[in-house]
């Protein structure tokens, strides 16, 4: 017996851009019918086909396998084709070409309200969903209490779900989809609707489902959740499979792709630079060993520098840097206010004359973990809640693992930072 749960071969889905819905009224139908001969004549004279709509392939030549008990993460940027793929796997949408084979009963949660009837109560929708999955009332009753307990909506079971909040809707929908024993569970980014505690419960439930030998398809922009939960992954780009395989490799490709690593970014013209009539940004750069660079060794200090024009006489300025890693975790935020400086920045307490300035911040070596990082910059009026400019992800840089801290240890070093700390061991008896 094959251990394959999902087999996808040559899958494609085509849409027409600008496709119009058909006229529903009698007058509209008569009008279209009357005008059709003229459309045909016009197309013959011009030599152009009647249907000149642009074709758009949301998916093209997609192929992969998912084994029983695997948790597959599908990742990609907005518009990559993730939702279209899930709708085909869930049999909501039919493909234009190719084929999908599903070996088992499918439970899916693609968007809030999928599979629920708004006029029915929570209790009635549980039984409705179970019936759609081919379960008997006896089987649904056996799992009913577990579904209700997991969802936390017991007080509102007799209320029509059209009165539920989006969070309640999501909790009940996930609980139904996960507990009614589907061999294949498909979950979209819809979990983002729930609170943090419920998301943790959902991830734990999906992990348990996989341990029971059932298959999970999980789509999310949260790379931490994807990495923790999934064993393999598919990276979609413009409707095609860019990478398919072990989840860490797929995530790394996703995070690196499309990110321009720059050691410096310049705005030669104040007209095009970020800022306003008070401050204009000129440059932001990473400096290590006296050189502008996009690659920093893990054990070396480096400096983030910002050059800017102060255009307002006697203004006060506060500069902030935000450093974020490739998983989207903010590692730290630091400013040049006196309380956050090892050595006080003298200009933080002074009035700026008009002119060009450079503010820098030195990051010690053996602090950040290896991998891609980005820098965002704020410039505010010091002492006031007045934002002058903010540039998100103004540049990116890479921290290189030199092997200095490993001494034989291999594999990924977990955590957002990798600091060298003070350790000690004593014999107490």
Mean pLDDT of the chain, nearest integer? 85
Percent of the chain with pLDDT over 70: 86
Q: What local confidence, expressed as pLDDT, does residue 21 receive? A: 46
**Residue 189 reports pLDDT greater than 80:** no
Q: Which residue has 């991830």 as its token pair? A: 203
**Residue 393 reports pLDDT greater than 50:** yes
Q: What local confidence, expressed as pLDDT, does residue 192 receive? A: 58
Paired residues of 295 in beta bridges:
398
Q: What local confidence, expressed as pLDDT, does residue 347 receive? A: 93
Neighbour tally for 71: CB within 10 Å: 24
Region of poorest pLDDT, from 173-177, 222-226, 289-293, 348-352: 222-226
Q: What local confidence, expressed as pLDDT, does residue 104 receive? A: 84
Region of poorest pLDDT, from 118-132, 169-183, 235-249, 284-298: 169-183
| pLDDT confidence band for 266 (50 / 70 / 90) | very high
Higher pLDDT, 326 or 147: 147
Q: What local confidence, expressed as pLDDT, does residue 40 receive? A: 52
What is the pLDDT averaged over residues 129-157? 87
**Residue 196 reports pLDDT greater than 90:** no
Higher pLDDT, 107 or 320: 320
| Cα distance between the two ends of the chain | 60
What is the pLDDT averaged over residues 228-249? 91
Q: Which of 9-13, 166-170, 401-405, 408-412 has the highest mean pLDDT?
A: 9-13
Q: What local confidence, expressed as pLDDT, does residue 197 receive? A: 73
Contacts of 110 (CB under 8 A, 6+ apart): 83, 86, 87, 90, 92, 186, 188, 190
**Residue 318 reports pLDDT greater than 90:** yes
**Residue 74 reports pLDDT greater than 80:** yes
What is the pLDDT averaged over residues 183-202? 74
**Residue 96 reports pLDDT greater than 80:** yes
Domains along the chain?
A: 4-20+53-256 (3.40.50.300), 264-400 (2.70.50.60)
**Residue 113 reports pLDDT greater than 80:** no
Distance CA 402, CA 299 (A): 8
What is the pLDDT averaged over residues 361-384? 91
pTM of the model as a whole: 0.64
Neighbour tally for 88: CB within 10 Å: 23
Contact between residue 398 and residue 288 where contact means Cβ atoms under 8 Å apart:
no
Distance CA 374, CA 396 (A): 4
Region of poorest pLDDT, from 149-158, 216-225, 332-341: 216-225
DSSP state of 20: P
Q: What local confidence, expressed as pLDDT, does residue 312 receive? A: 94
| pLDDT confidence band for 149 (50 / 70 / 90) | very high
Q: What local confidence, expressed as pLDDT, does residue 43 receive? A: 57
For 6-65, the pLDDT digits (tens) are 999 999 999 887 655 454 455 555 555 555 566 555 555 655 555 566 788 999 999 999
Distance CA 339, CA 317 (A): 15
**Residue 400 reports pLDDT greater than 50:** yes
DSSP state of 412: -
Higher pLDDT, 47 or 239: 239
Contacts of 200 (CB under 8 A, 6+ apart): none
DSSP 118-169: TTSBHHHHHHHHHHHTT--HHHHHHHHHHHHHHHT-GGGTTSBGGGS-HHHH
**Tokens representing 288?**
């290590």
């Amino acid at each position: 017996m094959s251990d394959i749960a999902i087999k996808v071969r040559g899958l494609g889905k085509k849409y027409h851009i600008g496709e119009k819905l058909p006229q529903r009224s009698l007058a509209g139908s008569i009008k279209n019918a009357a005008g059709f001969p003229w459309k045909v004549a016009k197309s013959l004279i011009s030599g152009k086909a009647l249907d000149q709509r642009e074709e758009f392939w949301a998916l093209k030549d997609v192929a992969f396998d998912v084994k029983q008990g695997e948790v597959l993460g599908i990742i990609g940027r907005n518009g990559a084709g993730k939702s279209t793929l899930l709708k085909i796997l869930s049999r909501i949408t039919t493909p234009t070409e190719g084929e999908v084979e599903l070996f088992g009963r499918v439970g899916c949660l693609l968007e809030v309200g999928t599979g629920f009837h708004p006029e029915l109560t929570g209790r009635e929708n549980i039984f409705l969903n179970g019936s759609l999955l081919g379960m008997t009332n006896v089987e649904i009753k056996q799992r009913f209490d577990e579904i209700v307990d997991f969802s936390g909506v017991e007080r509102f079971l007799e209320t029509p779900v059209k009165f539920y909040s989006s969070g309640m809707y999501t909790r009940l929908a996930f609980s139904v989809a996960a507990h009614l024993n589907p061999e294949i569970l498909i979950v979209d980014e819809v979990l983002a609707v729930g609170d943090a505690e419920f998301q943790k419960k959902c991830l734990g439930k999906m992990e348990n489902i996989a341990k029971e030998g059932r298959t999970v398809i999980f789509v999310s922009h949260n790379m931490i959740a994807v990495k923790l939960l999934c064993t393999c992954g598919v990276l979609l780009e413009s409707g095609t499979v860019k990478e398919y395989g072990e989840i860490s490799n797929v995530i790394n490709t996703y995070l690196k792709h499309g990110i321009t690593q720059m050691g410096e970014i310049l705005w030669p013209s104040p007209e095009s630079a970020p800022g306003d009539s008070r401050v204009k940004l000129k440059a932001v750069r990473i400096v290590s060993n006296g050189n502008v660079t996009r690659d920093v060794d893990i054990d070396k200090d480096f400096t983030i520098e910002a050059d800017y024009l102060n255009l307002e006489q006697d203004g006060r300025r506060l500069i902030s840097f935000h450093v974020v890693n490739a998983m989207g975790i903010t590692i730290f935020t630091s400013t040049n206010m006196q309380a956050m400086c090892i050595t006080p920045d003298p200009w933080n307490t002074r009035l700026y004359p008009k002119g060009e300035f450079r503010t820098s911040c030195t990051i010690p070596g053996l602090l950040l973990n290896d991998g891609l990082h980005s820098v965002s910059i704020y410039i505010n009026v010091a002492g006031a809640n007045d934002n002058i400019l903010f540039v998100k992800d103004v540049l990116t840089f890479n921290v290189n693992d030199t092997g200095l801290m490993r001494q034989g240890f291999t594999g990924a070093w977990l955590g957002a930072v990798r600091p060298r700390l003070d350790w000690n061991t004593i014999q107490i008896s």
